[in-house]
Amino acid sequence: MMKLKLQSLAYAPLLAYSLVLAGCAVGPDFKQPDAPSVQGYSKEPMPSKTASANTTGGDEQQFVSNMDIPAQWWTLFQSTPLNSLIEQALKANPDLQSAQAALRAAEEQVSVQQGAFFPAVNASLTPTRQKTATTPGQESSLYNLHTAQVSVSYTLDVFGANRRAVENLQAQAGQQRFLLEAAYLTLTSNVVAAAVQEASLRAQIGATLEVISTQQKLLALLKRQYALGDVSQADVAAQEAALAQTQATLPPLQNSLSQQRNKLTALAGRFPSEELDQKFLLSQISLPQQLPVSLPSNLVRQRPDVRAAEEQLHAASAEVGVATANMLPQITLSANIGSSATQIGNLFTSGTGFWALAGGLTQPLFAGGALLHKKRASEALFEQAQAQYRSTVIVAFQNVADSLRALQYDAETLKAQLLAERAAAHSLEIARKSVALGASTPQTLLTAQQTYQQTVISLAQAQAARFADTAALFQALGGGWWNRTDAAESAQAGNNVQK
C-alpha cells in the first residue's frame, strides 16, 4: 500500500495562511438582548389581592411576586376531568405533533451542515473495456482497464462561512424548539379556556331554565287571577310573551355549548362524532388562591414567543456572516490515491499506483452585484428581526398587564354582579307577592323578571371570567415550561448541539 506524502513545499504558504485565519468568522457575534429596564407592568402599583364574593369563582386571590410556575399549572384548578382531557390532548393533538416533527427536522439540518467541517471521502471502482484507434492495415487494440481510487476533498472554513451557517441553523432549531413550547402552551391554555367556556355556558343554560321555570309559575298565577277577574287578558298575554322571549334565548346557548364541545373534541385530536367523556361545571373547578407575578426581567426568558423571536434574531445575525464570507476567498484542498491495472487481480501491485494533490483559491470578482446585495439584504433582515423581537417583548408585557388588570377588575365585577343578582331576585319576589295580593300591576312583575333574567346570566358570565382570567395570566407568564423534565432535556440537547 502506497502512502501519500506532501513532497513539495508549494502548499506550505497556503496551509500557513489557512491556519492563521482558522479562528476567524466574519460577521457580527450575536449578543443576547438585554431585558427591558422597566420595573413593573403598569404605572399604578398592583393590589396585593383581589376582591372576593360569596359565590362560585368568588374566592380571594393573592398576587405573589416572583412566584415560580409549575409545569402542569392547570392542575391548580383541581379538576380531574380537566387534567385527563389535557393529558389526552398532549398525546393526540396534531398541531403539537407537527411542531415536534418540525423540531426534529431542524435539529437534523444542524447535523447536516456540521458535516461540512469534515473532509468528503469517496471510494470508486471503475472497470472499463477500451478499443484504441489504429492506422490502416493494423489490428485495433482491445483491452480492459480497472481503476480503484479514493478521493478526498475539503473546503477550509477560513472566514467562518460554515461556522456561521451552522450557527444559523442552530438558531433556527432553537427557534423551532420554542415554537414547540409555544404550541404546547397554546394547546393547554386553549383546553382550559374552552373547558371554562363550556362550564359558563352550562351555568347560563341552567340559569335560563330557572328563569323559564319562574316565569311559567308567574304565568300560571296570572291565569288564575284572570279567571277571578283581577287582571286583564292583556296582562296574561304580556306574560306569555315574556316567557316566549326567554325560551327563545335557550337554543342559541345550547348551540354555543354544542360548538364548544366540538372545539374541545378537536383540541383532544378527535372528530366531532367521538364524544368526550369529560363534562365541565364551574362548581367543580377550583380557583387558585395564589397567583404568580414574574419579575419583568424574567418574563423575556419565560415567554416561548419571546425566546423564539430571540432565536430568529440570532439566525439573522449569523446569516449576515454567511453573506459576508461568501464575498471572500474560498480555499479548497483535494487529493486522489488509487491504482489502475488491466487485470483486476493486479490492482495495488507495484507500479499500478497513482496519486494527486491539488489546492485551489477562488476569489469572487464579479457577480453582477449579487453578493453585495445579498449581504445588504441579510443586514436588512437582521434589522427586521430586531424590530420584531422588540414588538414581541412589548406584546408580552401587554399580555401580562392586561391579565393582571382583568383579574383585579373582574373580581370586583363579580362582587357587584352578585349583589345585583340578589337584589333582582329579592325585587322579583316582592313583585310576585305584590301582584298576587293585587297591590301592584303585572307590568311591575314583567320589569322585575327582565331585570332578574339579565342579572343571572351576567352572574354566570362573571363567574366564568375569574377562571378564564387566571388561565390567561398563566399563559401570559409562559406557563412554567422550564420546569418540565422533557423541556429541560430538550434545552440541554439544544445546548449540546450549539457546542
Cβ 469 vs Cβ 410: under 8 Å? yes
> Residue 12 pLDDT > 50, yes or no?
no
Of residues 457, 77, 454, 453, the one with CA closest to residue 283: 77
When pLDDT is averaged across residues 215-231 and rounded to a whole number, the result is 88
**What domains, with CATH codes, occur in the chain?**
23-117+158-328+370-498 (1.20.1600.10)
Cβ 285 vs Cβ 203: under 8 Å? no
pLDDT of residue 60: 95
- The Cα angle at residue 59 between residues 57 and 63, in degrees rounded to 5: 115
**Which of 18-32, 198-212, 329-343, 464-478 has the least mean pLDDT?**
18-32
When pLDDT is averaged across residues 450-461 and rounded to a whole number, the result is 92
pLDDT of residue 6: 37
> Residue 313 pLDDT > 80, yes or no?
yes
> Residue 443 pLDDT > 70, yes or no?
yes
Highest mean pLDDT among 157-161, 353-357, 415-419: 415-419
When pLDDT is averaged across residues 143-147 and rounded to a whole number, the result is 85
Kindly tell me the burial class for residue 51, based on how many C-beta atoms sit within 10 Å of its own C-beta (0-12, 13-18, 19 or more). Answer: middle
Give percent above pLDDT 90 in the chain: 71
When pLDDT is averaged across residues 229-257 and rounded to a whole number, the result is 92
pLDDT of residue 250: 95
Cβ 239 vs Cβ 224: under 8 Å? no
**DSSP notation for 258-282:** HHHHHHHHHHTT--TTS--S----G
> Residue 488 pLDDT > 90, yes or no?
no
Of residues 275, 104, 77, the one with CA closest to residue 193: 77
pLDDT of residue 134: 65
User: Residue 216's pLDDT band (boundaries 50, 70, 90)?
Assistant: very high
Find residue 320's DSSP bridge partners: none
Report the C-alpha gap between 482 and 484 in whole angstroms: 6
User: Residue 388's pLDDT band (boundaries 50, 70, 90)?
Assistant: very high
> Residue 298 pLDDT > 70, yes or no?
yes
Q: Each residue of 263-296: pLDDT tens digit?
A: 999 999 999 999 899 999 999 999 999 999 999 9
When pLDDT is averaged across residues 230-237 and rounded to a whole number, the result is 89
Give percent above pLDDT 70 in the chain: 91
pLDDT of residue 23: 55
Q: Each residue of 24-38: pLDDT tens digit?
A: 789 899 999 999 988
pLDDT of residue 374: 95
pLDDT of residue 442: 81
pLDDT of residue 7: 39
More confident site: 50 or 351: 50
More confident site: 412 or 499: 412
pLDDT of residue 484: 87
When pLDDT is averaged across residues 198-226 and rounded to a whole number, the result is 91
pLDDT of residue 487: 57
